[in-house]
Amino acid sequence: MTIKIAIQNKLKYYLNKLKRIFMFFWRIYKFLRGQLSWTALKKNIKTILGIAPLKFIPPPNDNKIRLNLGCGDKILPGYINVDCMKSRKGNVVNIISDLRTLSFKKNIADEILAVHVIEHFYLWEADILLKSWRENLKPSGLIILECPNIHTAAKRLAKNPKKLSLAETTDIKDGQFAMWPLYGDPGWKDPLMCHRWGYTPWSLIKLLKECGFKNVRQEKAVFKHQDPRDMRIVGEK
């Protein structure tokens, strides 16, 4: 079964590649025939090549149980929004709970989403946390983690350490791409918002596999600053 799934995933990957190549040349053909403007062409090509910003699309009303853990001010439709704080920026959560002691039953959730959450726990806590969340998922349920990619942050910091190591006080944009991924946003002035561990795609994939998840892979990030500053890692129970 595992080999079959792996082959299916490979076929989907290459079919998607072929589709993108076809759409790329089809858009250029329409542009040359005067059926597509230059602005529309650039937008289309960015989408086809996968470099256009992604947007969150609310899930269908299919009665599936989706948990948005550590939601903060990010209250998502179609999800049960859970956080240790009642509200942030005036956005009220559905359930107030410490993510380390969730009261959900085992095998209840179809999906667990945690955006910019895992980095707020120490590594030894993350291991316990992920194993606990796995128990909450139904068989074949999805776990979706988004967090900063510290490989990207470290490379950016190394290019100009004198400037970017002070970026949290001199240039907000640079800070968000260098120091913030490593340590968190100092603007919150809240210990809960500090980062206690950092991940690369490879280290987070390895951790999820060690916690029992299968078919673990990297996908394009949807929230916050997206790729390449952030990353999305998906796994299945």
Q: pLDDT, tens digit, for every residue of 135-159?
A: 999 999 999 999 999 999 999 889 8
Distance CA 115, CA 68 (A): 8
Q: Where are the beta strands (DSSP E) in 48-152?
A: 66-69, 80-83, 87-88, 91-92, 95-96, 109-115, 137-148
Q: Which of 33-42, 175-184, 219-228 has the lowest mean pLDDT?
A: 33-42
CATH code, 66-153+182-236:
3.40.50.150
Phi, psi of 219, deg, nearest 5:
-125, 175
Q: pLDDT, tens digit, for every residue of 66-101?
A: 999 999 888 999 999 999 988 777 788 999 999 999
Residue 24, pLDDT above cutoff 50: yes
Largest CA distance in the chain: 61
Percent of the chain with pLDDT over 70: 84
Closest by Cα among 161, 181, 165 to 226: 181
Give 31's pLDDT tier (boundaries 50, 70, 90). confident
Give 191's pLDDT tier (boundaries 50, 70, 90). confident
- Reported as half-sphere exposure (CB side, CA atoms, 13 A), residue 205 has a value of 12
Locate the domains of the chain by residue range: 2-48, 66-153+182-236
Place of tokens 């709970």: 97
* DSSP conformation class of 186: G
